[in-house]
Amino acid sequence: MTDQNVNAAAAEIEMYGALKDKEPPKEPRSQWRDVWDQFRKHKGALIGGGFLLFITLAVLIGPLIWQVDAKQLDIRNKDMRPLYTLLWDGDARTSWAKPLGSDNLGRDILATLIAGGRASMAVGWTAMILALFIGTAVGVSAGYFRRLDGPLMRLTDLFLSLPILPLLLVAVTLFRQPLRASFGPETGMFILIVGVIGITSWMQTARIVRGEVLALKEREFILAARSIGTTPFKIIRRHLLPNVVSPIMVSATLGLATAIITESALSFLGVGFPSDFPTWGKLLSDAVPRMEEFPERVMLPGILISLTVLSVNYLGDGLRDALDPRIRGR
Amino acid sequence: MLTYTIRRLFLSIPTLLFISVVIFLLLQLAPGDPMAQVPLTVPPDVKQKMRDALGLGAPIHVQYWKWLVQFFWIEPQVLIDHWFGTGLAEGKLRVISWQTRSPVMDIVVQRMPQTLWVVGMSYVVGILIALPIGVYSAYKQYSLFDQAGTFVSMIGFSIPPFFSGVLVIVIFSVNLGWFPSIYDTTHVVTDWASFKIQLQQMVMPVMVLALQTTAQISRFMRASMLDNLNQDYVRTARAKGLKESVVVLVHVLRNSMIPIVTVIALGIPSIFGGAIITETLFKVNGIGQLLLTALFANDLPMVMTLTFIFAILIVLFNLIADVLYGILDPRIRYD
């Protein structure tokens, strides 16, 4: 009896031969594996990501390897040139103890660059995360709750029409003293700069996230979730946020690039961190008056800023391609 | 279209009011004291009188209202007086700078030509370079030229103006000695020789600003051309035997320019903001540099007015971009 049944079923399957798999089933692939495979194809993004990782690691563990205090004055050995100047100028004052030379107070340039990179990257990452957080919160609430949509989007439009750089200058100049007084010069400036950059750069993320959420919340899985009584907060956390991760990641890279540039620009205009607390922008602007004699002091931080931003931009480019399922696999 | 424009104009009024409130409150909350520079020997009651004379004793809303009246009512009257020789604004108090004790708008009018000349010129140059690059790299997609263009515009995005500016100063001014590193705004063009000097001093600031513009606009131009090159009407145009140059430079280019025009309009206010850095670098005494010095001198009326002018520019050019988009593209209907 059972044999007959099996045979009948087999015959039935035989009949619909087209339905059968021609090849053995493949291993199921996770989404992130697909993303990684697509990402790997973008050479620029790969190099950019690698360089960003390298810079981040270098500024994190650099001080452990190159154990020179960035604030250590060594007035006897001031104005040293970097070692590579020996290639064309044999008489240049160089020293193996200071491979990238020293500044006008004898501080080691390699150590200050590492310390400056630490500050720049810290400001960049924190400001980017703050902007992402605000942008995602505003975007999700505007997209999900219809009542909030109008007011929140008007607010976003208003923020978009604020003159950002002048306002940043105003805010940083005017609020420098009280924050310094209450948190100390370095922490105060850090809070201030991260805060103003974060508060003035969340608008693009909010707009993108809102658009995605508006489209997503009409889909069946959200309806299903709502029909079994899931609370809005849980729907947002479990169903909406994982689906808007890719646009958020892309705008995160853009945000990181702008945050680093903005911080350096503020430092360059002289409203950033105090002089004894180096960041790349500060190092660059401090070196401008004597750039004819010591061009490397301008070039090194400038090249570091530009390379970091360039690698972040390429990373964003690759991420955008890799995270978009319509482009992926082509 | 006209009703849309009028509606947008009316809507921009609350936007601008909101922005002015934000800027005003920001400046009010700031702890800076304009009397900080006054010598310590001046007795406190005299200081208080000086504060009152600057209008600082009044409540915040009164100060804000006074600024609004001065900016939106008295300053336009001054402008009308200047144009037609009438006497509307005689004896009325204008927005006065605390630094120079002269009307803020007069200083802005003095500084504006330098900014407009350098910034405007660089924007035009940037666009003129960007458009052909965008068109050609879209037409030859993935060619060597396209790859190079992508790379150069990526670099243009990534090198901040304060570094590219320093870089060109080191290369062209220090090492090669071709161009002066300081922009001399008192220079007057009278003959060919002075015109050549004027050109020389403009090259570097214009190039630094134009690099940013070029990077951005050539990317947009390329994307927009690519969108249009695969459309059916392009195939039709080729099928009926039009020359390739006509197809690309007339049919496709005209359609691709629609979004580009709005991008160009939207970019104008941001280039004013970006000019702050370039002006500092090349020592152009434009409005960006004016804002910076006013900030450091705690000259609140000047800062307030300048920031608000930047905001007006942004709102205005957003409006212009939207209206232009509607006019140029008949498929867009706002009403």
pLDDT of residue A330: 47
Closest residue in A to B275 (Cα–Cα): A165
Question: Given an 8 Å threshold on Cβ–Cβ distance, is A164 in contact with B269?
Answer: no
Q: What digits encode the pLDDT tens for the residues B218-228?
A: 888 888 888 88
Q: Is residue B167 less than 8 Å (CB to CB) from chain A?
A: yes
Residue B133 contacts residue B214 (beta carbons within 8 Å): yes
pLDDT of residue A134: 93
Closest to B183 (Cα-Cα) out of B191, B168, B192: B168
Dihedral angle computed from the Cα positions of residues A134, B10, B273 and B324, in that order, rounded to the nearest 10 degrees: 100
Residue spans of the domains in chain B: they are 110-296
Three-state DSSP class for residue A75:
helix
Q: Is residue A47 less than 8 Å (CB to CB) from chain B?
A: no
Question: Given an 8 Å threshold on Cβ–Cβ distance, is A166 in contact with B18?
Answer: no
Q: Is residue B135 less than 8 Å (CB to CB) from chain A?
A: no
pLDDT of residue A138: 92
Q: Model confidence at A130, in pLDDT bands (50, 70, 90)?
A: very high
Question: Given an 8 Å threshold on Cβ–Cβ distance, is A269 in contact with B26?
Answer: no
* DSSP per-residue letters across B159-217: S-HHHHHHHHIIIIIIIS--S-SS--TT----SHHHHHHHHHHHHHHHHHHHHHHHHHH
Mean pLDDT across A284-298? 78
pLDDT of residue A136: 92
pLDDT of residue B239: 92
Q: Model confidence at A3, in pLDDT bands (50, 70, 90)?
A: low
- When mean pLDDT is compared across A183-197, B30-44, B291-305, B307-321, the lowest value belongs to B30-44
Q: Is residue A150 less than 8 Å (CB to CB) from chain B?
A: no
Percent of chain B with pLDDT over 90: 1
| Residue predicted with more confidence, B96 or A236 | A236
pLDDT of residue A14: 63
Locate all alpha helices (DSSP H) within chain A, ordered by sequence: 2-15, 31-41, 43-65, 109-144, 146-160, 164-183, 185-199, 203-216, 220-227, 232-235, 245-268, 280-287, 295-323
User: Whole-prediction pTM value?
Assistant: 0.81
Residue A152 contacts residue A138 (beta carbons within 8 Å): yes
Q: Is residue B23 less than 8 Å (CB to CB) from chain A?
A: yes
Average per-residue pLDDT for chain B: 81
> From the list B292, B303, B306, which residue is nearest A269 (CB)?
B292
Dihedral angle computed from the Cα positions of residues A206, A209, A214 and A219, in that order, rounded to the nearest 10 degrees: -160
Question: Given an 8 Å threshold on Cβ–Cβ distance, is B314 in contact with A161?
Answer: yes
Cα distances (angstroms) measured from residue B66 to each of A90, B59, B308? 67, 11, 15
ipTM of the complex: 0.78
CB pairs under 8 A between A and B: 121
Q: Is residue A181 less than 8 Å (CB to CB) from chain B?
A: no
Q: How many Cα atoms occupy the beta-carbon half-sphere of B318 within 13 Å?
A: 19
Three-state DSSP class for residue A326:
coil
Determine the CATH number of domain B110-296: 1.10.3720
Distance, in angstroms, between A235 CA and closest chain B CA?
34
Closest to A174 (Cα-Cα) out of B269, B304, B57: B304
pLDDT of residue B72: 78
Three-state DSSP class for residue B57:
coil
* CA–CA dist A164, A196 (Å, integer): 10
pLDDT of residue A90: 67
Mean pLDDT across B117-141? 87
> From the list B26, B169, B274, which residue is nearest A170 (CB)?
B26
Q: Is residue B157 less than 8 Å (CB to CB) from chain A?
A: yes
